[in-house]
Amino acid sequence: MSVEEELQERSGGRCELCGSESELAVYPIPPDGDERADRSVLLCAVCQSQIEDPETVDPNHWRCLNDSMWSQVPAVQVMAWRMLTRLSSEGWPQDLLDMLYLDDEILAWAQAGEAADDEDAVQHLDSNGALLQAGDTVVLIKDLNVKGANFTAKRGTPVRNISLVRDNPEQIEGRVNGQQIVILTRFVKKSG
C-alpha cells in the first residue's frame, strides 16, 4: 500500500486538518521530510499553501484546528501545534494551545520543526540569558502592574506554557490570574 493510500484510509479521504475533500496530497512533515505515513499528513491545497507560505495565512481558515488538534494521530497533532503556535498572536489559537497536551516525544518533534523554520529567528532570553522556548514555564522576578486588568502579578508567580512574541525578542505571552498578558523577558527567569 502506498503512503497516499495509507493516508487516504487513515483520514477517510479528507484533509486531516480542515476536513476538505478536494485537492488532497501527501505532506511530509519537516524537518525530516520522510514520506512515510507516520511522518506525513494528508492535506488539501489550501492548508498546504498556507503552511508553506506564511504570507498567505488566513487565521479564520485555521479555526478548524479546534477539532483536528484532538486527533489521535501524532503527525496531525504536530501540524496542529505548529499552526496554533504560528497564529498564537491572534488570541484564540493561544487558548487552544493552552488546552492541547502533547506527549514529550511529540512535543519535541513539533518544536524541532519550528526550530528548523526559524533558524535565523529572533531569540527570546530571560533575565539570566537562558533561551526561552514556546511551552516553557517561567517565574516572575518582580511585581508587575498589569495595565487594563487591575491587578498586580506578584514576584514568584509561575507562568506556564508561555508563547513567544515572534517579532519582539523582549516579549512573551502567558496566563496570570486567568488573564493572557504580555510580559517583558527581563522580568522573568526560566523555571527548571
Mean pLDDT, residues 9-30: 93
The domain locations on the chain are 3-117, 124-190
CA pair distance 148, 164, nearest whole angstrom:
21
The owner of cell 485537492 is 23
Averaged pLDDT for residues 23-28: 92
Q: What is the pLDDT of residue 119?
A: 47
Q: What is the pLDDT of residues 55-92, one digit of tens each?
A: 888 999 999 999 999 999 999 999 999 999 888 878 88
Region 124-190: CATH code: 2.30.30.40
Q: Per-residue pLDDT tens for 26-54?
A: 999 887 767 788 989 999 999 999 998 88
Q: What is the pTM of this model?
A: 0.60
